[in-house]
Amino acid sequence: MCCRVMEIREIAKPQGALCPNCNAGVGCRIYQERPKECASFHCGYLSIGALGEEWKPDRSRIVLAIEEGGKRLAAHVDLSRPDAWRREPYYSQLHRWSASAMPAGRIVIVRLGLRMWVILPDRDIELGMMSEEDRIVTTVEKTPVGPRWTAKRLPTSVAVEP
């Protein structure tokens, strides 16, 4: 799945396209000389721990990755199954992860190609097509029933107030 859903800039492989070096059912044809992006990638299914077989990427159609130095959990979804992240048990688990991540200053996102959603404890916010120049800004409002989070996409050129 990572050979399909992840972008690999070193070899100009876009998200959603199968890597030309992938030998389906066997593995990478250039494993010993694979791009640095591939060599340094750590699959969330293997590294997060305590995930059931349902999270295995070829079954879930979701590749989990820790990004931004641990500040973001990304669920990269197979373009051929755009609804995969909305199915159970994935959808509920993404929200549970968000509920524990947000107070610690971390976020959970879903990527479907260039489209992105921020998963908040109580809802999803679609950010639309994200470019490399865009960033995600989250804010929290204190309410009588607890914190209410929101998120938006901002171009890097827009200053964020502290």
Same domain, 30 and 99: no
Whole-model pTM: value is 0.90
Question: Is 137 within a domain?
Answer: no
Question: Is 30 within a domain?
Answer: yes
Q: What average pLDDT does the chain have?
A: 92
Same domain, 11 and 36: yes
Q: Average pLDDT, stretch 9-33?
A: 91
Same domain, 72 and 52: yes
Question: Is 156 within a domain?
Answer: no
Domain of residue 25, residue span: 1-41
Same domain, 59 and 36: no
In this predicted structure, the answer to whether residue 38 has a pLDDT above a threshold of 90 is yes
Question: Is 26 within a domain?
Answer: yes
In this predicted structure, the answer to whether residue 162 has a pLDDT above a threshold of 80 is no
In this predicted structure, the answer to whether residue 21 has a pLDDT above a threshold of 70 is yes
Same domain, 14 and 93: no
Question: Is 123 within a domain?
Answer: yes
Question: Is 161 within a domain?
Answer: no
DSSP of the chain, one letter per residue?
Answer: -HHHHS-BGGGTBPTTSPPTTEETTTEETTGGG--HHHHT---HHHHS-S--GGGSHHHHSEEEEEEGGGTEEEEEEPTT-TTGGGSTTHHHHHHHHHHHHGGGT-EEEEEETTEEEEEPSS-EEEEEE--TTEEEEEEEEEETTEEEEEEEEEETTS----
Same domain, 11 and 78: no
In sequence order, which residues have a C-beta less than 8 Å from that of residue 6 and are 6 or more positions away? Answer: 15, 37, 41, 63, 65, 76
CA-to-CA distance for 80 and 138, rounded, in angstroms? 29
In sequence order, which residues have a C-beta less than 8 Å from that of residue 16 and are 6 or more positions away? Answer: 4, 5, 78, 79, 113
The predicted-structure confidence for 46-91, as pLDDT tens digits, reads as follows 988 789 999 999 999 999 999 999 999 999 999 999 999 999 999 9
Same domain, 56 and 121: yes
Same domain, 30 and 78: no
Same domain, 33 and 61: no
